[in-house]
Structure 1
Amino acid sequence: MNQRRSFLKSSVALASALSLPSLSRAAIAAPHERSLRFYNTHTGETLRSMFWAEGQFIPEALQDINRVLRDHRSNTIANMDPELMLLLDKVSSQFSNNEVIHVISGYRSPETNRKLAEASGGVAKHSMHLEGKAIDIRLPGRDLAQLHKAAMALKGGGVGYYPTSQFVHMDTGRVRHW
């Protein structure tokens, strides 16, 4: 897999140097590769990661994603559901291929979730965030209602719409919406 990525990078560089746009486009637009761009609104961290290639998840990339989506309050890292990354890829690709996903909340530790639930009626006591199966996001410059509509159309799990707080919740649980 690493050899293939090195080849693709080399192909892009060579195509650019030789002004062969068709080779460059083919290498960049490999349909069997998926990547995401994240910005954690609480920590300021950014990540651009190819998390899927050659028909499988890339474990190292998922580890990097887990770190960025950690509970920033307790600094606790947990494994995020890889299927959630596929959902995020699908929803962001409905807007463009290079959307930066602003993360409001990824994984939540039990302590953090309990504190948030006590402070707000909008936090579920048994949140899917506790299992690494949920994320709260927005796409800057994109209409939040359109993001909500795009997430609902996927029917990939739960979708919550929080226009006052400016985010959409997505999870890999059963299909439902609120």
Structure 2
Amino acid sequence: MSDQKVLTGRTVVVLATDGFEDSELTSPRDAVSDAGAAVVVATPGGSAITGKNGTEVPADAGTADVDASTVDAVLLPGGTSNADALRLDAAAVSLVRDVVTAGKPVGVICHGAWILTDADVLRGRTLTSFPSLRTDLVNAGATWVDEEAPTCEGPAGAGTIVSSRTPDDLPAFNAAVVAAFAAS
């Protein structure tokens, strides 16, 4: 995606489970990798996962094995069953909370935003998601917008959140994620 390796020396962790939306994991993962980031795929069990359309992705670690101090950013793909299962993984929720409160950025698309409600990091934030999550995000303290890839700087040292709605937004989302991750 980028000729410049603006993310060289940075580690981005992708948190996901089975049932992820295939393009919402692979496209941003490839965008940050192409920009020079080392990508770590972490799953609750530390095992390979399969997307809802059959894409198989090997895991590099279990969510319980990843420490927020060792990563520079997090990517959260969508997929309803993926997002619903991931938010039940205490280690993943803690990791997301720790990354955001440490001032590190998060890229989240579609249903991936559900875990942000469980991590309690949405008060005062502006973001988007798949439309059916709007009420959940608003109830967790966010302002919901219907935009391609809004970027919300974190309050008082909290990390930036780049969000997006659906696979249709991937080009804008990928560009915004790389820019936010490079700026952190």
TM-score for the superposition, normalised by structure 1: 0.27
TM-score for the superposition, normalised by structure 2: 0.27
Q: RCO higher in 1 or 2 (8 Å CA, sep ≥ 6)? A: 2
Query: Quick check: which has more Rg, 1 or 2?
Result: 1
